[in-house]
Amino acid sequence: MNTRQLPPFNLRTVLILIVAVIAFLILVSFAGRFGYFFRTIEQQEVGVQFRGGRIYNIVGPGIYSDVGLFVSLQEVSGQAIPFSVSDEEIITRDKQRIGIRVSGDIFRPGYEDRDRIRRLWAQYRGVYLNDDLALNRVQDLARQSMKVCVGDRTFDDNIIGTSRDELRACVDDELNRLADQFALRIENLVVPEVVLSPEVQVALDAIVQSRLSTEKAAQDELKANAEAAAERARQEGVIRAEQARIQEQTRQQTILAELERERLAAQTTVIEAERANALARLTTEKLTIGSTKANELLAAERDLDINRALAEAAAAKARADVALEMALAELFSSHPELLQLRIAEANAGALGETDKIIFTTEGMAPTLVLPGPGIVPTIETAPSTEAE
């Protein structure tokens, strides 16, 4: 019969396991300072790579990995940051008080501005990484631009007609000039609202009402003169209409005969034109058939060229995929420690929180007995023997 014995308590094995776990936790906590793997930079982002606390490269969209001492990768978003700012106390050049509201979108520097990012990173890092800081900075610049543009113009030049477009263009130019020192760009800027103080609004309404009253009086005078002239013209028209009726009757009788002659000539012309149109239609149909055949032949040739180009692209992609796999194999061959790291990551990922590990001496076969009525859970780690 088989004999089962519990293994003796091994304090050394337990201590080794505890030290291994602590070393593994320390390695994981410091791994982020010595490398990053397969970090993705999206289409609308720019990546800033650091080594030893200094920028050593600025990259566009893609997937990046790096290993070294204190290396990191930070993303700069290129998405628009909408903003809206208003100022109700701006004095115009002619000492009038108005308020305006400005809205637009903020854009951070992109990959094409990588030299400026490298040069300005130490000063404006927060503006490039924090949306709130960028928004607050642009709002302050927008208020300054609004005061400059409104203050250089009169009241009428700020609110009447096309002057609103000129005001928007001025704020746009001035704000972009100020934001350029941070490598920021402002687009889609609009001035949706001009706010007037109550006193200015009352005075402006009075001016408009006075102008309307003056124009109405002038229109009433013109209307009276026009009505009198219309009555005289009506009376003269009645007399002239009777004279014209008599003359028109004579003229109509004279031209009836001429119209009949022209009708017969027109019929002859229509018959000849229809014959010419039929001939032209046949000619056009022949040309259309020839053009259709030529287009079909050209389309077939283009489809053939497209299929060839697709085949070449597929072959190039296959070569690129093979090249990537060969490059990874060469990397793992040159750096065995990287391969060991990948194996350790795979092993760590294979274990779940509910998994259990049984450590046994080499050559020992563990036997697990599930508990039940009258059965005590037992783990046999001693080598099995058969009774003689």
Query: In the chain, what are the domain boundaries?
Result: 11-77+338-380, 81-196
Predicted structure pTM score: 0.47
CATH code linked to domain 81-196: 3.30.479.30
Beta strands (DSSP E) in the chain are: 35-41, 45-51, 54-59, 62-67, 71-77, 81-91, 97-107, 185-196, 367-369, 378-380
Q: 241 or 189: whose pLDDT is higher?
A: 189
Residue type, 235: Q
Distance separating alpha carbons of residues 111 and 41, to the nearest angstrom: 12
pLDDT of residue 314: 82
Residue type, 303: D
184, 181, 186: which is closest to 82 by C-alpha?
Answer: 186
Beta-bridged to residue 126, according to DSSP, are none
Q: How far is CA 109 from the centre of its chain?
A: 14
Beta-bridged to residue 71, according to DSSP, are 51
**Phi, psi values for residue 252, rounded to 5°:** -65, -40
**Phi, psi values for residue 288, rounded to 5°:** -65, -45
pLDDT of residue 182: 94
Mean pLDDT of 66-86: 90
Beta-bridged to residue 119, according to DSSP, are none
Q: 222 or 172: whose pLDDT is higher?
A: 172
Paired tokens of 354:
């509910």
pLDDT confidence bin for 26, thresholds 50/70/90: low
- Answer for the pair 59, 46: CB distance below 8 angstroms, yes or no: yes
Q: 80 or 331: whose pLDDT is higher?
A: 80
Mean pLDDT of 304-317: 84
- Answer for the pair 56, 50: CB distance below 8 angstroms, yes or no: yes
Other C-beta atoms lying within 10 Å of the C-beta of residue 377: 9
Paired tokens of 232:
């005289």
pLDDT of residue 365: 63
Burial 24-40 (b: 16+ CB within 10 A, else e): eeeeeeeeeeeebeebe
What sign for the dihedral angle of Cα 168, 170, 174, 179?
positive
- Answer for the pair 5, 382: CB distance below 8 angstroms, yes or no: yes
Burial of 89 (0-12, 13-18, 19+ CB in 10 A): exposed
